[in-house]
Amino acid sequence: MMTAARETFRSWFYRPWFLGLLAAAVSATLLMTGSLFVAMHQVEQNESLEMNAQGERFLARLEQLFGQLRESLDDLEAQPLRACDYEMIATLQQVSFNYRFVYEAAYMDDSRICSNRPRQEGLSLIRAPDIQGPTYSYWLNTTTEPDENRAALMLGRGNFRVATSRGHLTDMVDLSPGSSLLVVLDHGKRAIPVLGVSQVWPPTEAWPPKKRDALQVTQTRLIYRMPTDNPEYQLVLITPRTGLHIPAVWWWLVPASLTLGIFVGFLVYLLACQRQSLDAELTGAIRRGELQVLYQPIFDLDSRNCVGAEALLRWRRPDGSLTSPDLFIPMAENSGQIRQMTDFVLQRLLEQLGQLLRANPQLYISVNLAACDVMVPRIGQVMARLLTLHRVAARQIAFEVTERGLIDVVVARENLQALRDVGHQVLIDDFGTGYCSLAYLQTLPVDCLKIDKAFIDALGHDAASSGVAPHIIHMAQSLHLKVIAEGIELESQAALLSSEGVKFGQGWLFAHALSAVQFIELITRGRRRAGRRVEDEA
């Protein structure tokens, strides 16, 4: 049931129109999500800029305001009058006239309070100061009545008090509903609203926040901490976030994202059609016999005798062009056609070389196995039937697996061991390019390591990989494994490898990949390379 469901999903997933729609939907969604994220970031940035500007205006006004209040108190403290009489009231009125931000000035002693506004209840409420400094005392939020002409801040020195009105604070910045200007006392433990509504304090779990940024943005509020010189208090402006107002430009991005998503989907559709066409061509190629097996000879580096070959699958189209194995082999692995192709190689090599192998028991042919063949015991069953049919010994057919094909080492070990148990050799192809560690290698049933051409090319050069090949050789020798060097093109490479103890090699120095007829001719004539190379006539 699971297999049926998987096959159904695969059949849907490989349909070009489905892939096109999926690509269009995913790309359009990602583009719109990205543009929305940019829009939200822009909104947050605009909020931050507005809040910073508002906080800076408040701070500038507060500095002016406190400066005048302190200066007016200094003037009152310096004059000699100390009694509530008409002369004192005139002095208080003169001070409020001289200083723009002094709304009310008062003198108080043990018995009386006199003010420049005697008919209003301005400073009748006397309580302990909220901040007691060495020179000045501060009263915050002295009235809660919604009257801009009532005192909001009061400073005191000696017997004198001066206060400013709420209007003097709000004429520079208009607080939005729900906003507050707070004075934070007791090292962040208490906050008194000077303007606006009371706020839950502290506004965040950790106060003060670890970040030193003046503006702190939460999901619901903007909190602006104003820098002050006095360590006894802190000024904080809190305002609720007004909600997400998506910029108008985002609504232009929506159709653009949809259009671009459709375009991406169309491209994916075309690519899927092309790939599906290639899949169909590959299926037809197998049916029409366009696939052929070539043989890359393997030589003894000392005697230069051919000891075997690697079977290579090639796709020659009717027009004579060759399709690279790097293109159609991965495609066949993804589509599941690789099993059919592996069976084709095994059957074809035994049909072509069965008689040669029977006549030359020392020869062997190695066949590459895909990851799906390594992970199941199927290949052993196929091979047993073919060996019986063609009367060829199991030791004459070797199997090459890549490190990347060992997806599950435990399962691979069991299946490879089963192949070795009946006589097949197991080779690790392109060793050093995958992730097979020495610890894994020691536990795998392996007879031989094949060193990748890239490491052979680096021999004798100052490249960083020039020491890899000798390291692999010494490691293989310590594990009593044979070594085959791939891609030998120079005599100097062959000599260096032979001096390192490598016994076998393959490459253009000895021969190109040969057709079955050419390979049979090479073996039957007992040809040794003596200054010339067997040319590729395939």
Residue 242 contacts by C-beta under 8 Å, 6 or more apart in sequence?
47, 176
Phi (first) and psi of residue 368, to 5 degrees: -80, 135
pLDDT reported for residue 113? 86
CATH of the domain at 500: 3.20.20.450
What are the contacts of 49-55 at 24+ separation with CB within 8 A? 51/215, 51/222, 51/224, 51/237, 51/239, 52/214, 52/215, 52/224, 54/173, 54/224, 54/237, 54/239, 55/214, 55/215, 55/224, 55/226, 55/237
Highest mean pLDDT among 193-202, 300-309, 446-455: 300-309
Mean per-residue pLDDT for 115-129?
67
Checking if the pLDDT of 355 tops 90, the result is yes
Mean per-residue pLDDT for 287-295?
82
**Range name among 220-224, 353-357, 422-426 with the lowest pLDDT average:** 220-224
**Range name among 59-68, 148-157, 508-517 with the lowest pLDDT average:** 148-157
Highest mean pLDDT among 117-121, 138-142, 469-473: 469-473
Residue 205: inside a domain = no
Count up the domains in the chain and report the number.
2
Residue 446: inside a domain = yes
What is the pLDDT confidence band of residue 124, given thresholds at 50, 70 and 90? very low
Checking if the pLDDT of 119 tops 90, the result is no
Higher pLDDT, 507 or 46: 507
Tokens standing for 523? 């073996």
- For 479, the domain range is 291-524
pLDDT tens digits, one per residue of 30-52: 877 777 777 777 777 777 787 77
Higher pLDDT, 315 or 230: 315
Higher pLDDT, 253 or 523: 523
Higher pLDDT, 228 or 76: 76
Name the domain boundary from 115, 150, 174. Answer: 174
Higher pLDDT, 379 or 226: 379
Mean per-residue pLDDT for 5-24?
60
Q: Which amino acid is residue 81, in one-letter code? A: L
pLDDT reported for residue 528? 46
Average pLDDT score over the chain = 79
Residue 273: inside a domain = no
Name the domain boundary from 174, 194, 223. Answer: 174
pLDDT tens digits, one per residue of 297-339: 999 999 999 999 999 988 877 767 777 777 777 777 777 778 8
CB burial string 300-332: b at 16+ within 10 A, e below? ebeeeebbbbbbbbbbeeeeeeebeeeebbebb
DSSP 395: G
Distance (Å, whole) CA 424 – CA 418: 9
Residue 79: inside a domain = yes
Residue 383: inside a domain = yes
Checking if the pLDDT of 434 tops 60, the result is no
DSSP per-residue codes, 275-292: HHHHHHHHHHHHHHT-EE
Name the domain boundary from 174, 194, 220. Answer: 174
Q: What is the bridge-based pairing of β-strands 221-226 and 113-115? A: unpaired
Residue 436: inside a domain = yes
Residue 190: inside a domain = no
Q: Are residues 165 and 297 in the same domain?
A: no
pLDDT reported for residue 21? 74
pTM above 0.75, yes or no: no
Residue 224: inside a domain = no
Secondary structure of the chain: what % helix, strand, coil (to 5)? 45, 20, 35
